[in-house]
Amino acid sequence: MLAELVSVRLLFVLAAIVLCSIVVGEGRRSNSRFTNLMCESHDESFAKVSKCKLKLLARGRVGINIHLNMLKLPITNVWMNWSIDRRYNGWRPFLYNVSKDFCQLMANVNDLSFEGLVINAIMSRSNVNHTCPYNHDVIMDNLEFTDDLLKTLPLPKGDYRIQLRFATNKVWKLKVSVFFARDEQ
């Protein structure tokens, strides 16, 4: 009788574990976070990086803070190149390496493209929310990584780098590298 009671309880416990794993497994979501940030000015007479750091906003929440002092204003001609690299055995190209006219892109943002995802994320937390000309410093304040940023771009688990390079008059002036990790829960 005791053996039957123990085996019935064991069956209930096993059934509860299986049921919970099925329910939790269906609600699985990814957990992504910024891990590093590097800003580099190739022309100090054009722009200086006065702030380029990650800030811990709360437990598990990290924000990007960038302040670029633009020294040659107005800026009317901006070309942008961005790429996503994934860390395998060193950094390897992954999905995108795109160059576009930034002024034209800001005039016609496509929300469904990768560029649209990046631009909309940047515009939500910075003063780069209009088209050219730019007559001011570039400030980004507490840009957080949320999985909504990549809802249309499913990325597998891994370490990634988004590299943004900016040029004016066909000369590269700035480079910003954003590193993030994507884990599955």
CA angle 80, 118, 77 (to 5 degrees): 25
Each residue of 49-65: pLDDT tens digit? 999 999 998 887 889 99
pLDDT at 15: 43
pLDDT at 154: 66
Which among 152, 167, 77 has a CA at the least distance from the CA of 110? 152
Q: Cβ–Cβ contacts within 10 Å for residue 120, how many?
A: 15
CB 122 within 8 A of CB 140: yes
Q: Cβ–Cβ contacts within 10 Å for residue 157, how many?
A: 11
Residues of the chain with pLDDT under 50: 2-3, 5-6, 10-30
CA angle 180, 156, 140 (to 5 degrees): 25
Q: What is the pTM of this model?
A: 0.78
| Lookup: tokens for 113 | 């493209």
Query: Pairing between strand 30-41 and 171-184?
Result: antiparallel
* 47 φ/ψ sector (left φ>0, alpha ψ -120 to 50, else beta): beta
pLDDT at 152: 56
32-184 homologous superfamily = Ganglioside GM2 activator (2.70.220.10)
pLDDT at 75: 92
pLDDT at 111: 66
pLDDT at 166: 95
